[in-house]
Structure 1
Amino acid sequence: MKIIATSRSLHGTGASRRMRNNGQTPGVVYGAAAAATSIELEHNSLFHALRKEGVRHSVLDLELDGTVEQVIVRDVQVHPFKPMILHVDLQRVKADEKITVKVPLKFVGGENSPAVKIGGQRVKAAVFNVKIACLPKDLPSVLTVDASKLEAGQAIKASQLTLPEGVSLVLGKQKDITLAVAGK
């Protein structure tokens, strides 16, 4: 997916407010050993692009003043009740450097598990995303968790995840985390 942006020189609350009133969204691009650049993007195209599933968790092409670079979405600030993006942070990525990002989990097969069919229990998600490290080309937009074999009283751990090649979990101090449990 491609996002088109232009550099901006005006900063501050007043400049950002005027930009938003004119249908633009302020943002910043940083990372990959390059200086941070303040940018502005067309709001409606950005808003609709970010609503598509998986876009926030994939590598995007950013056309900035005629040059194209690869970025990932790091942060999106939205208005509390209006359908409006207030600010977006994009991080440049290099093809040969690993990145660490949070990726959402998609739970499948829970309704067919023995815990649900035989035990009358429910499969409950304990976490909804996990942190991974990988090269930008290997970045999955979602990780699928198969809960179809979950027995009553059992849990699915992060170590049981089937990860794509080149992707590793980043758990920090924890050895393993619970992703889902079967219970009442």
Structure 2
Amino acid sequence: MSDFTVSAVVREDQGKGASRRLRHNNGVPAIVYGGEAAPVAITLKANELKKLLENEAFYSSVITLDIEGKTETAILKDLQRHPAKDMVWHADFLRVTADSKIKATVPLHFINEESCVGVKVGGGKIAHQLTSLDIVTTAENLPEFIEVDLAAVEVGTVIHLTDLKLPEGVESLALSHGAEHDTAVVSVLAQKGGSEEEAEEEAGE
């Protein structure tokens, strides 16, 4: 269920001063919470975490936390970064089990854009309304990304949430609130004339 392992140690000293000292010593203060166990303050190694964060899949995967030899599965729930420097300020992890029902945000991967019929034949241009999708699923079914195939999409076509092919056990969070939340994901607009305005207007709706 997890392709990523993060090593951590229990953090005894807490507070702003302690966190500041941690960061000066290549540490990142973090917390793991949720489930039946109490929240645990932990420390991660900044350079190891930075390397993991370079992988897009890390943000939408179940992670194994190795806390002084004891492992827990979790997802990255929140990440605070320094406003000016390339530093992680704090990380929050939520404990999960295989059947835990979770809300997550996963990236959308648009494929076959260059061979899209609406672009290659129709001379249109692709406009992305969304680049990620909020989903509800179980931890074991959490996808790294959602694929959107644009190969057969023609000029003037708008792909909505209901048009996406979601993996088994994955539900759009927006659509769970009703059909009126069926927003546009991506569209192929005509390059000139009224068709473009009509396609943009449809995408807006």
Which TM class, normalised by the smaller chain length?
over 0.9
| Percent identity (aligned) | 36
- TM-score for both structures, normalised by structure 2: 0.85
Matched to 1:22, the amino acid is N
Output one character per residue of 1:80-132: Cα deviation in whole Å (capped at 9) or x when no partner: 33221111111100222211111110111122122211232211110111111
* Aligned position for 2:185: 179
Gap runs ≥5 in structure 1: none
1:50 aligns with 2:47: no
* Aligned position for 2:196: none
Which of these two proteins has the greater Rg computed from alpha carbons?
Answer: 2
Output one character per residue of 1:22-43: Cα deviation in whole Å (capped at 9) or x when no partner: 1100011111132221111111
1:6 aligns with 2:9: yes
Aligned residues of 1:28 and 1:36 also touching (Cα < 8 A): yes
* Aligned position for 2:76: 73
Output one character per residue of 1:3-53: Cα deviation in whole Å (capped at 9) or x when no partner: 111111222221111100011000111111322211111110111011113
Structure with bigger helix share is: 2
- TM-score for both structures, normalised by structure 1: 0.94
RMSD: 1.4
Question: Stretches of 4+ moved more than 6 A in 1?
Answer: none
Matched to 1:52, the amino acid is N
Matched to 1:70, the amino acid is T
Output one character per residue of 1:33-82: Cα deviation in whole Å (capped at 9) or x when no partner: 32221111111011101111301110010011321010101111122332
* Aligned position for 1:131: 134
Output one character per residue of 1:161-182: Cα deviation in whole Å (capped at 9) or x when no partner: 1111221221135431211011
Matched to 1:20, the amino acid is R
Equivalenced residue count is 184
Matched ranges for 1:1-184 at <5 A: 1-171=4-174, 172-173=177-178, 174-183=180-189, 184=191
